[in-house]
Amino acid sequence: MAGAAGAFSLREVLAAFQTCVSERREVLLGPYLSGWRGLIRFLHSLGTIFSFITKDAVAKVQIMEGYSGGEQRERYTSLQSMVEYELANRLVDVQKRGGHPESGCRTVLRLHRALRWLQLFLEGLRTAGEDARTSTICTDSYNASLAAYHPWVIRKAATVAFCTLPSRNAFLEVMNVGTAEEAVAMLGEALPHISDVYDITQELFAQHDLLNLP
């Protein structure tokens, strides 16, 4: 279930995103959601100031869990099959939210945009100097990605929450993969997989003109 408790391990998140892309270059929804559940566990550990973010991420993962365990589950095995099914059956609100306010396509689009933030943030953590501030890396990554889609009040709350983040090295340690150096090495391994998932999804959504779903 989305948001279940348990220690965060970057290794598990990496494994999930690694198994996301099938031989046919489809993004499999099962491992995609596992990756998100892992990230949400980490968000929980950052405390209540992040709970408005955690709640939204949990809600979105739960919507998708509903589809992938529901009656039409075989249509939701991959992002490609989901897009094909929802578009063919007019299950996506394209102009403004109406009869299908929680389509899989618009929900995944929100997670997909957040994945871009994650990509930038992890790359920032990996390449920054030892005394770099996590809050600065996080704010810069947010401003270069998700912020464009959020109203002022959310941008403000997010920026305040980011200020409470621990130092880079403390942050690398809570990833539970050993020393800060080992965490950096693991990030170097993880990032190409996350980027692959991001790029395939971006292309899929662009092809079908789904990048601005309300």
Where on the chain is the footprint of ligand 1PX (CB under 6 A)?
A: 10, 39, 42-43, 52-53, 56-57, 110, 113-114, 117, 138, 142, 146, 149-150, 154, 158, 175
The residue among 43 and 144 lying less far from ligand 1PX, judged by its C-beta, is 43
Q: Look at residues 35, 43, 46, 27 and name the one whose alpha carbon lies nearest to residue 11.
A: 35
As measured in angstroms, the least distance from the Cβ of 27 to ligand 1PX is 17
As measured in angstroms, the least distance from the Cβ of 113 to ligand 1PX is 6
Considering all CA atoms of the chain, what is the largest pairwise distance in Å, rounded to the nearest integer?
52
136 phi, psi to nearest 5 deg: -70, -45
Q: CA quadruple 30, 116, 14, 132: dihedral positive or negative?
A: negative
In angstroms, the Cα distances linking 102 to 42, 163, 166 are: 25, 32, 35
The residue among 89 and 176 lying less far from ligand 1PX, judged by its C-beta, is 176
Half-sphere exposure of 72 (CA within 13 A, CB side): 15
Half-sphere exposure of 105 (CA within 13 A, CB side): 27
As measured in angstroms, the least distance from the Cβ of 172 to ligand 1PX is 9
As measured in angstroms, the least distance from the Cβ of 121 to ligand 1PX is 7
As measured in angstroms, the least distance from the Cβ of 7 to ligand 1PX is 13
The residue among 88 and 153 lying less far from ligand 1PX, judged by its C-beta, is 153
**In this structure, are residues 15 and 186 in contact, taking their beta carbons and an 8 Å threshold?**
no
